[in-house]
Amino acid sequence: MNRLGTVREIRDAFRRGERSAVDVCTEALSCIAMRDPELHAFNTITGEQALARAAAIDSDRARWIDRPLAGVPVALKDNLCTRGVRTTASSRILEHFVPPFDATAVARLESAGAVIVGKTNCDEFAMGSSNENSAFGPARNPWAPDRIPGGSSGGSAVAVASGMTPLALGSDTGGSIRQPAALCGIVGLKPTYGRVSRYGLLAFASSLDQIGPLARTVEDVAIALTVIAGADPADATTAAEPVPDFSAGLSSHARGMRVGVPQTLVDQGVDGEVTAAYRAALDVLRDRGATLIDIDLPYAGAAIPVYYLIATAEASSNLARYDGVRYGFRDRGTDGDSTHRRDLDLKTMYARTRARGFGPEVKRRIMLGTYVLSAGYYDAYYLKAQQVRTLIRRDYERAFEQVEVVAMPTSPTPAFKIGERVSDPLQMYLADVFTVSANLAGLPAVSVPCGFTGNGLPIGLQLTGRTFEELTMLRIAHAYEQGK
């Protein structure tokens, strides 16, 4: 499974002339060909284009040799726009949609020398925690193919965890990078809100969405973040913050670092094996020189309801554009009986297009969000949620006066079986309990593998950092990774 190697290994081998981009790409594609039929990580595989691109890089080595991702195969979550390559968000409504432009993060990967091999499966419009909400069928966990890989960036996590690609991009609105990373035993990073341009990311909840990398090591996500981060004139919410080399200065100790432990929060509803792995991870951090400090996040308990009010409100508006008028699926049916056929009127066309184009979870969230924003309910739901969001942000600000990072389990449980929770959406929403706060507060957070359950399912440790201090957070994560 490790034949392809890490981002760092591939790049260095390319630089030394030991491996060509075509060799690496061929290996990645053959691994995909071998494993994807079972795991369904990909919605679209762009093999021909990838090989042509790899060949172009090989034939112009001088130009690419110093680029940070020279010759590195990358998988992209299928909600990132790729010019000329269909981008579906795992939805029927965009099943044949081909964007006319590249997402900024995609363009930055390519100019860093990356070779895009395909678009990965995900929950429809990134709405879900299990990848079961894909219109094209679920991706499967490579550690136990009868189990979910997590979501919504499930396909990206599976691609990396199964060795199909060393790097993938996902998007994270409430844990959609970190939770599948944890459940698939890899590293997943959600950057600070505003760190990575959202231009070209199909919006789910604009004030929460961030693009981020999934890879096998902390160093690899750091390399990728350095490439995709930075202000973008096409996204007014990106920050002008300088972008350091996040992979420089990673070390194996965490001396002088203070790690916050929200004990009350993590005592509730967490699987016993997850708790044990979490405790063991805290011990490793202490061994590496970090100080553990008890902290209190009194409003964190409200994060789930707040998240599902704000995220659905924004989603109900963001998904209004999928109306069948300009692009994507349109119900072209007709009304009337066989002798009196007529074209659908506008309202019927809208209703049928959206009824047939969207899956049940997306419809559920659009309805919830529409309700939340409706006259008479706005103050009680949306406005109140925004107020509590501010309180959650303040919880973290207060905690960060004492600590550099906050440590929590990424997911309260390991990967569950496919189909186990589909009939209980609320139970599904609770899987996000530890991840949504970082999105609500705009903070960076990373999930790193921290062991396995007795039956071999991966468990993740989540570190949440201060705004725009990914560097410190990644150093601590790296020290942990080296010490476990």
Partner 1 sequence: MPFEAVIGLEIHAQLQTASKIFCGCSTVFGAPPNTHVCPVCLGFPGALPVLNGAAVDFAVRAGLALGCRINDRSIFARKNYFYPDLPKGYQISQYELPLASQGALEYTVGDGIRRVGITRVHLEEDAGKSLHEGFSDSDRKTYVDFNRSGVPLIEIVTEPDLRSAPEAAAFFARLRAILVWLGVNDGNMEEGSLRCDANVSVRPAGSGAFGTKAEVKNLNSFRFLQKALEYEIDRQIELLREGGRVRQETRLFDAASGGTVSMRSKEEAHDYRYFPEPDLPPVVLDADRVDALRRAMPELPDARRRRFIEQHALPEYDAGHLTESRALADYFEQAVAAGGSPKMVSNWMMGELARALNDNGREISDAPVTAARLASLLQLIDRGTISGAMAKGVFEKMCASGRDAAEIVEAEGLSQIDDEAQILERITSVLSEHADAVAQFRAGKAAALGFLVGQVMKATAGKANPRRVNELLKRELGGGSPGT
| Site for partner 1, rule CB under 8 A | 80-81, 87, 89, 94, 97, 99-101, 103, 198-203, 205-207, 233-237, 313-314, 316-317, 319-323, 325-327, 343, 346, 350, 370, 373-375, 378, 382
Q: Is 219 exposed, middle or buried (0-12, 13-18, 19+ CB in 10 A)?
A: buried
C-alpha span between 129 and 170 (Å, rounded): 13
Nearer to partner 1, 101 or 452 (CB): 101
CB of 22 to partner 1, least distance (A): 30
Nearer to partner 1, 103 or 473 (CB): 103
**Identified catalytic residue from 91, 134, 152, 411:** 152
Do 199 and 231 contact (CB within 8 A), yes or no?
no
CB of 317 to partner 1, least distance (A): 5
**Identified catalytic residue from 77, 119, 190, 484:** 77
Do 122 and 151 contact (CB within 8 A), yes or no?
yes
C-alpha span between 229 and 296 (Å, rounded): 31
Q: Is 430 exposed, middle or buried (0-12, 13-18, 19+ CB in 10 A)?
A: middle
Number of Cβ within 10 Å of residue 83's Cβ equals: 14
CB of 291 to partner 1, least distance (A): 37
CB of 421 to partner 1, least distance (A): 29
CB of 207 to partner 1, least distance (A): 4
Nearer to partner 1, 205 or 431 (CB): 205
Nearer to partner 1, 248 or 383 (CB): 383
C-alpha span between 85 and 280 (Å, rounded): 44
Whose structure tokens read 């507060």?
A: 441
What are the two backbone dihedrals, phi and then psi, of residue 176, each rounded to the nearest 5 degrees? -65, -10
Nearer to partner 1, 307 or 434 (CB): 307
Angle, vertex CA 189, rays to CA 363 and CA 435, nearest 5: 50
Residues 86-119 as b or e (16 or more Cβ within 10 Å = b): bbbbbbbbbbebebeebbbbbbbbbebbbbbbbb
Q: 130: closest CA among 150, 145, 144, 147?
A: 150
Nearer to partner 1, 89 or 161 (CB): 89
Distance of CA 453 to the CA centre of its chain: 23
Q: What's the DSSP call for residue 344?
A: P
State the DSSP H helix or E strand holding residue 74, giving kind and residue range, or none if neither.
Answer: strand 73-77
CB of 123 to partner 1, least distance (A): 16
3-class state of residue 29 by DSSP: helix
Do 168 and 157 contact (CB within 8 A), yes or no?
yes
Is there a catalytic annotation at residue 129? no
What are the two backbone dihedrals, phi and then psi, of residue 77, each rounded to the nearest 5 degrees? -55, 140
C-alpha span between 238 and 27 (Å, rounded): 36
CB of 343 to partner 1, least distance (A): 6
Q: Find the Cα–Cα–Cα–Cα dihedral 372, 373, 378, 380, rounded to 10°.
A: 10
C-alpha span between 382 and 369 (Å, rounded): 9
Nearer to partner 1, 50 or 319 (CB): 319
Nearer to partner 1, 308 or 382 (CB): 382
Which residue type, as a one-letter code, is found at position 263? Q
**Identified catalytic residue from 91, 176, 197, 437:** 176
Residues 459-469 as b or e (16 or more Cβ within 10 Å = b): bbbbbbbbbbb
CB of 105 to partner 1, least distance (A): 11
Q: What's the DSSP call for residue 92?
A: G
Nearer to partner 1, 184 or 203 (CB): 203
CB of 99 to partner 1, least distance (A): 7
Is there a catalytic annotation at residue 317? no
Give the residue numbers annotated as catalytic, written as ranges: 77, 152, 176
